[in-house]
């Protein structure tokens, strides 16, 4: 008897829910005519951003590639005459990416960033292999001020170690040896 009661109750609850929604204003969003703006921190299409002075932020350190759980980032690092490193080529297979954001977390220069642009679907999966030219944008993305080369404590043609903003003088690690 209690089973019949439970079944009737379940039907009644279901129909009541349907009935209630019959008189509500529909909230259907007509995609793609209407595209709901997503929060800035949404994780979708990946870009490579630039420093405020317009130079490439990526220093080809391989950290994003190492941390990526699906191994979809590859690159080749190189060095300019002034000691500044960069990625000679940089490739992301977005067909494989799971948009976890770990690459962005690991990046010391704020170069690699995920954006709210989610319209990446393609029929040909190979078109989702993005090269550096496809990834590089002409702005700083979320991090408007940061410039790795001003704070990193590396020696370049412009400044030596210990001369960058807020940087302490280098420590002679050998002086700690016995």
- Contact positions toward ligand SF4, by CB under 6 A? 58-64, 67-70, 72-73, 75, 87, 92, 97-103, 106-107, 109, 111-112
Q: Hey, is 50 helix, strand or coil?
A: strand
Query: CB-wise, 58 or 140, nearer to ligand SF4?
Result: 58
CB of 168 to ligand SF4, least distance (A): 23
CB of 40 to ligand SF4, least distance (A): 16
Query: CB-wise, 62 or 146, nearer to ligand SF4?
Result: 62
d(CA 171, CA 101): 34
Q: In sequence order, which residues have a C-beta less than 8 Å from that of residue 153 and are 6 or more positions away?
A: 161, 162, 164, 167, 170
Query: CB-wise, 101 or 153, nearer to ligand SF4?
Result: 101
Strand positions, DSSP E, 117-173: 129-130
Query: CB-wise, 47 or 164, nearer to ligand SF4?
Result: 47
Q: How many CB atoms lie within 10 A of CB 168?
A: 9
């Amino acid at each position: 008897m209690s089973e019949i009661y439970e079944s009737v109750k379940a039907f009644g609850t279901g129909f009541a829910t349907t009935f209630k929604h019959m008189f509500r204003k529909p909230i259907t969003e007509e995609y793609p005519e209407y595209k709901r703006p997503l929060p800035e921190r949404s994780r979708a299409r990946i870009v490579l951003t630039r420093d405020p002075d317009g130079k490439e932020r990526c220093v080809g350190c391989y950290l994003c590639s190492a941390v990526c759980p699906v191994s979809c980032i590859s690159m080749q690092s190189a060095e300019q005459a002034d000691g500044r490193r960069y990625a000679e080529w940089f490739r992301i297979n977005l067909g494989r990416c799971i948009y976890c954001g770990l690459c962005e977390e690991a990046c010391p220069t704020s170069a690699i960033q995920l954006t709210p642009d989610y319209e990446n679907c393609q029929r040909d999966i190979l078109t989702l292999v993005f090269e550096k030219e496809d990834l590089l944008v002409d702005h700083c993305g979320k991090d408007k001020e940061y410039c790795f080369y001003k704070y990193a404590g590396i020696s370049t043609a412009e400044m030596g170690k210990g001369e960058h903003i807020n940087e302490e003088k280098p420590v002679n690690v050998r002086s700690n040896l016995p």
